Amino acid sequence: MATEIKKVPIPRRGVDYRGKVVLAPMVRSGELPSRLLALHYGADLVWGPETVDKAMIGTTRKVHDDTKTIMWTRKPHQGGKQPPADAKENAIFQMHPEREGQKLIFQMGTANPELAVEAAKLVAADVAGIDVNAGCPKPFSVHCGMGAGLLKTPDLLVSILKALVEKVGSVHEIGISVKIRILETAEETEALVRKLVATGITGLTVHCRTTPMRPRERAIRGQLRMVANICHEAGVACVMNGDVETRDHALALMKEYGTDGAMIATCAEKNSSCFRAKTDGGVAPWREVVEQYLQGCMDVENKFGNTKYLLCQLVPGKQPEYKLISACKSYTKVCEMLGLEHLLERARDVDNKLEIDPEGPKKPEKKSGNKTAMAAGGQKAEFRSQAKTPLSARGVTATQVQPEKAEGAAISA
């Protein structure tokens, strides 16, 4: 008879990661429209992009009635100086409470328990869970001791998770989770996971690569079943990450390795319909996905630079539309280029709200000349700009020129 797997109680407002195929946290690629796109095609849960604790602290929560979104904004820092009173606020995080609120996990970059708690409290009432990033290998994260840097300081990571469980998870009745990478040896990974599952977290995601490994290197799943077993002993859900391609592939891997859930990253960035099972239609043509994505972007008035970035992931590089999109500078131009006439009026409206010129920013006019040079020798510059009079018109013959050239050559030597 199979042993019943222990389960940590799921908080009232939290989520159970078991049986879920979810969207991975991805910087730039994990912004609001991308999460809505993944949910549209069947993702069970979505992770937001890593947001650093210090970036969140000091933000103001604002509800936007037009887009039905919540946005946390702040004025930019300028070397520790107070920004000007009229400085435009930057959006740090945006979410759609109706369409993703109960399925959104806020991922945080942190290396300090106090700062982690302070930042998490700002969003805890609006999301379904808080996840600590202990797996990002990028320099911007690791050099501050965040991300995969926390794997080298497990006691610090444990203190962060305990503080979040006690002061945020319990108070707001949501789950706290962590995302890690495997270590060099199974023994090291086992020791780390046992410490983490004892902190009160409800979920642990393991990326099946070591910190030095990059996405082009195949995931290593040799330690996966061991990690899943340790999680189950503690009642914690185990989610796998690394080379998961589609929902059907995810479910097969979950069954093979005994994990509770699976996370899709790169394949979701290229075509979010990978969350749709084959029985429901499977992976959709890129044009369908792009149109759905554009509509989501315009729904929430997404910053065009971010929209364009993901469009260049969704449109296959060999398609002629790829280069055309790369040159677009507005929603209007993208819709015109893709032949989406039914979205043009809406695109113009969004461009207008975002203060985007449909034709793109105007190029500055070329100056007539270098003012400094002209001031120093204006007449000479003017003379050089005039067409030269032919030698024949000046009464000079070819034979008269040769001695001058010879003399010049002698001086140069």
Give the per-residue SS3 of 40-65. HCCCCEEECCCEEHHHHCCCEEEEEC
9-21 residue pLDDT tens? 899 999 999 999 9
The span from the CA of 15 to the CA of 105, in Å, is 9
Residue 339 has pLDDT above 70, yes or no: yes
The verdict on residue 167 lying in a domain is yes
Co-location of 322 and 189 in the same domain: no
Domains: count for the chain: 2
Co-location of 175 and 62 in the same domain: yes
In the chain, what percentage of residues exceed pLDDT 70? 84
199-227 residue pLDDT tens? 999 999 999 999 999 889 999 999 999 99
| The pLDDT of residue 364 | 60
Q: Which of 136, 208, 238, 267 is catalytic?
A: 136
The mean of the pLDDT values for the chain is: 88
Co-location of 88 and 65 in the same domain: yes
Res. 379 pLDDT band, cuts 50 70 90: very low
The verdict on residue 346 lying in a domain is yes
Co-location of 293 and 329 in the same domain: yes
Co-location of 290 and 182 in the same domain: no
The verdict on residue 115 lying in a domain is yes
Co-location of 218 and 304 in the same domain: no
Put residue 95 in one of left, alpha, beta given phi > 0 → left and psi -120 to 50 → alpha.
Answer: beta
CATH code, domain with 120: 3.20.20.70
Co-location of 207 and 348 in the same domain: no
Fill in the DSSP letter of residue 105.
E
| The pLDDT of residue 398 | 43
Domain containing 322: what range?
285-378
Co-location of 352 and 372 in the same domain: yes
Q: Extract the runs of DSSP E, i.e. beta strands, from 116-248.
A: 129-134, 175-181, 203-207, 237-241
Res. 409 pLDDT band, cuts 50 70 90: very low
Residue 72 has pLDDT above 60, yes or no: yes
Q: Is 297 a known active-site residue?
A: no
Res. 140 pLDDT band, cuts 50 70 90: confident
The verdict on residue 310 lying in a domain is yes
The verdict on residue 400 lying in a domain is no
163-204 residue pLDDT tens? 999 999 999 999 999 999 999 999 999 999 999 999 999 999
> Of 250, 284, 318, which marks where a domain is finished?
284
Res. 401 pLDDT band, cuts 50 70 90: very low
